[in-house]
Amino acid sequence: MKVCHDHNLNYALDGERLFGIRVSLDSSDPFSRLLGADWEQFHWYETAKQRDQALKEMTKEHIYSRRGDRPIIILKPVARSSHADPT
């Protein structure tokens, strides 16, 4: 992946990231009508510990959410082999 401004990176791109979080939408989420029922996004990390920490942060209540708001996203830890396609 080409990066225009390396100084904006939160992490180095040279490490192999095998541990991930799959983010998808529940079918009842109205946003799925915009993105499609099969929308998913992956966040990849070098270690399971980094992934687990990120997952813990992602499941926290957003500080700017209104009282009672409950996001309907599905977060699932995943892993890939070191020989898999890095997409």
The predicted structure's pLDDT at residue 19? 96
pTM of the full predicted structure? 0.72
Q: Is pLDDT above 60 for 85?
A: no
Domain positions in the chain: 13-62+69-79
Buried b (16+ CB within 10 A) or exposed e, 60-83: eeeeeeeeeeeeeeeeeeeebeee
Model pLDDT for residues 14-71, shown as the tens digit of each residue: 778 899 999 999 888 888 889 998 999 999 999 999 999 999 999 887 778 788 777 7
